[in-house]
Copies of this chain bind each other. A is one copy, B any other.
Amino acid sequence: MVVRLNEQERAEKLQPLLEAGWTLVEGRDAIFKQFILKDFNQAFSFMTGVALLAEKINHHPEWFNCYNKVDVTLSTHDVGGLSSQDIRMANHLETAANLLK
């Protein structure tokens, strides 16, 4: 069962993401990061990889794309805030973006 992150998980798993450029969204328990890729091809390649994982783990990002930019917001609807699913997805996004650099 997916539950909201507790304080220990926030310190151990969320903090490294905040140090990697993710920010807490105002007014809701969610995290945000803008990824800047080389061009649209790279941005959509990045999104496609993420989409496959999203379907696999049934956890989907909210995202906005404009040419080479991808703005991603993560939160878990079912628990009304951040869960381990968001941590997993955020770490995957970090890896995927780094591979495309």
Contact = CB atoms under 8 A, between A and B. Distances in A.
Interface string A55-76: 1000010111111000000000
A1 B48 CA distance: 32
B64 A64 contact: yes
Contacts of A54: 40
20 contacts: A40-B51, A40-B54, A40-B55, A40-B60, A41-B55, A44-B48, A44-B51, A44-B55, A47-B47, A48-B48, A60-B66, A60-B67, A62-B64, A62-B65, A62-B66, A63-B64, A63-B65, A63-B66, A64-B64, A64-B65
3 smallest beta-carbon distances between A and B, as pairs: A64-B64, A62-B66, A44-B51
